[in-house]
Amino acid sequence: MFSPDIITKFQQHETPFYYYDLDLLQRTLKACTNAADNYGYHVHYALKANFNPKVLQTVQAAGLGADCVSGNEVLAAIEHGFDRNKVVFAGVGKSDKEINAALDADIFCFNVESVQEMEVINDLAAAKGKTARVAIRINPNVDAHTHHNITTGLEENKFGINTWQLDDVVFTLGNCKNLEFLGVHFHVGSQITNLDVFEKLCVRVNELHEWFEAKGLFIKVLNVGGGLGVDYYNPDKDPICDFAGYFKIFKDHLVVKEGQEVHFELGRALVAQSASLISRVLYVKNGQKKNFLILDAGMTELIRPMLYEAYHHIQNLTKGDNDATVIYDVVGPICESTDRFRTDVALPRSHRGDLIAVRTAGAYGEVMASGYNLRDRVQSVYNDID
């Protein structure tokens, strides 16, 4: 991913920073839209993965919709030119202020996650003389077989409406005159690499599809969420997901009737490989049992390893691949014992000032950065750095 010229240019920049490969991002978006267009599928980009302005501009230019989980994400999507008729507002805890902002923006749809939320949206829409379009997020109780902290589709998760509440949903829809029922919404988790999970989701969606139609409710939108995982271990070998294989699963197993649309919400799969966190070695500490590389980036710049025990491939960009290796714990400067990217990493013998790349950091990286310890906010640079 990093040519000698790029590495030389990195030396001119103060670290840490996020480096965005916008060319790879564009190629990834093209692969996704080409595969989705084969079946007439609608793809919304999940802004929570990365709302860097240049990333949003690139995604919007590719023609995708926007999947938002806060009022400010809704506003950011519209400000960056996303078609408001392709903006969806999800989230388990929408405030009145956020709902009102989305109603004023006349977005495509609210993905509703509780009966009480349906009633609140109905009342707020009525006060404005508006009708809110809604899809019901249903908890399908499908195990995503991913990390337990990013599983969202089991009955013990906080997200969605459980199937035993669906009679209440139908009753409430009948009483909420300022709601327009569009369809159903599902999301079972993130970083799913076993595609069989999506086949199981299709089976469940088909069952619930029939249940709603038996109640006399026509489903226009089948929103099956996202969750497609990326290869954190081999970012150069597998920089772009198998979108064709992913969408074909839904083509083969999801029952779609005339007049219905299939919608997806992809985030990580679109942006993760497009960015790396670039850092420098501040100090090397050699101990009897452990060697530490202390970087100038830490959990304030990329918290995923500390929050999810997430793996990121780490490279020393200054040293050659044939240099003798040493086993290091790669850690940050933050005053927390958990501020470590990885333990027992084999890297070329490293020295103060060496450039280090933490790969596949384009999703849930920069957007989760913080100012803890009064740290400077991490900067971003792009292909065209000078």
Across 292-299, average pLDDT? 98
Across 5-30, average pLDDT? 96
pLDDT attached to residue 147: 44
Identify the weakest region by mean pLDDT among 143-157, 260-274, 298-312.
143-157
DSSP structure class, residue 365: T
Mark whether 281 and 222 lie in a shared domain.
Answer: no
Q: What is the CATH number of the domain that holds 156?
A: 3.20.20.10
Mark whether 67 and 169 lie in a shared domain.
Answer: yes
Give residue 363's domain range.
4-17+273-382
Two structure tokens written together for 63: 């023609």
pLDDT attached to residue 241: 96
Q: Per residue in 70-128, pLDDT tens?
A: 999 999 999 999 999 999 999 999 999 999 999 999 999 999 999 999 999 999 999 99
Q: Which residue has the higher pLDDT, 1 or 173?
A: 173
pLDDT attached to residue 338: 96
DSSP-based three-state secondary structure for 260: coil
Q: Which residue has the higher pLDDT, 248 or 308?
A: 248
Domain boundary among 271, 294, 321: 271
Mark whether 250 and 338 lie in a shared domain.
Answer: no
Domain boundary among 218, 246, 271: 271
pLDDT attached to residue 149: 45
Mark whether 68 and 160 lie in a shared domain.
Answer: yes
Answer for the pair 179, 131: CB distance below 8 angstroms, yes or no. Answer: yes
pLDDT at 151 over 80: no
Total of domains in the chain: 2
Please list the residues that pair with 44 across neighbouring strands: 65, 265
Mark whether 172 and 255 lie in a shared domain.
Answer: yes
The pTM score is: 0.93
Domain boundary among 255, 271, 287: 271
pLDDT at 158 over 90: no
pLDDT at 144 over 70: no
Identify the weakest region by mean pLDDT among 60-64, 140-144, 201-205, 260-264.
140-144
Q: What is the CATH number of the domain that holds 313?
A: 2.40.37.10
Mark whether 303 and 210 lie in a shared domain.
Answer: no
Mark whether 53 and 196 lie in a shared domain.
Answer: yes
On average, the pLDDT of the chain sits at: 93
pLDDT attached to residue 150: 41
pLDDT attached to residue 361: 98
Q: Which residues of 122-132 are buried (b: 16+ CB within 10 A; e: fewer)?
A: bebbeeeeeeb
Mark whether 105 and 212 lie in a shared domain.
Answer: yes
Mark whether 255 and 154 lie in a shared domain.
Answer: yes
Two structure tokens written together for 257: 């009737």
DSSP-based three-state secondary structure for 27: helix
Mark whether 184 and 90 lie in a shared domain.
Answer: yes
DSSP-based three-state secondary structure for 68: strand
Q: CA 94, 95, 100, 101 torsion: positive or negative?
A: negative
Two structure tokens written together for 170: 């139908």
Mark whether 54 and 182 lie in a shared domain.
Answer: yes
pLDDT attached to residue 143: 55
**Percent of residues, the chain, with pLDDT higher than 90:** 89
Q: Per residue in 307-353, pLDDT tens?
A: 989 999 999 999 977 789 999 999 999 999 999 999 999 999 999 99
Q: How confident is the model at residue 157 (pLDDT cuts 50, 70, 90)?
A: low
pLDDT attached to residue 321: 73
Mark whether 239 and 167 lie in a shared domain.
Answer: yes
